[in-house]
Amino acid sequence: MMNDPRRRLTDAVAGRLESGAAALRRYGRRVQGTGRTLILGGVRSGKSRHAEQLMTRHPHVVYIAAGLPPSDEDPEWAARVAAHRARRPVSWRTVETSDLASALRDARSPVLIDCLGTWASRVLDEVGAWDQQDGWEARLDERLQAFVDIWQSTTVPVVAVSNEVGSGVVPPTPSGRIFRDVLGALNTAVAAHSDDVRLVVAGRVLDLR
């Protein structure tokens, strides 16, 4: 059992990001209303559109695309990226990066991050999680914690979109379970440091405060 990667994940990542109930009790009343909003939802739930609507009141927005860039090898993903680009106002500036902490730290305009799920998948790949490379847990922990720290301290209005992955069946593969556990821990930590958390289901927005 001690060699179970999911157990190591809990110790190395989720432990530092804290459990959901504990984190919300500890931090939920400390946020200062700087405009940190987390929007959760399933695939095609309307979460990205809702996030974009929230940002339309700002004339200039930094849109951080944190997932993999489009590629000719994956036309379906390229089409999704193109559809998102077509919806953005021309005044928005797009930043494509996996260094989410630095991008948010350097922002001087309101920020929209889309999305934490694709970013988590990209980071898991970069730290060697899929093939269990030595030290991947520590590298992952460092990347996630760096973002949570910047999220907590940022002074610009920021909206982050993320996938809600805890409501389905248990993934049948180790990599799927690692992704689910990592993203669940990340969503919990980000929510604990947010002023507003919303869940989008079938286009309907639920306030989770």
Q: What is the pLDDT of residues 93-146, one digit of tens each?
A: 999 999 999 999 999 999 999 999 999 999 999 999 999 999 999 999 999 999
Domain range for 198 is: 5-207
Query: Looking at the predicted structure, is the pLDDT value of residue 51 above 90?
Result: yes
To which residue do tokens 């060699």 refer?
Answer: 3
Domains in the chain, number? 1
Alpha-carbon span 51 to 35, nearest angstrom: 13
Higher pLDDT, 18 or 204: 204
Average pLDDT score over residue span 173-193 = 93
17 pLDDT tier (thresholds 50, 70, 90): low
Phi, psi of 43 (to 5 degrees): -65, 135
Alpha-carbon span 33 to 138, nearest angstrom: 32
Specify binding-site residues for GTP.
41-48, 65-67, 85-88, 96, 114
Among residues 50, 58, 60, 84, the one annotated as catalytic is 84
Catalytic residue list contains 58: no
Specify binding-site residues.
41-48, 65-67, 85-88, 96, 114
Average pLDDT score over residue span 150-167 = 93
Alpha-carbon span 165 to 154, nearest angstrom: 26
Q: Residue 105 maps to which CATH number? A: 3.40.50.300
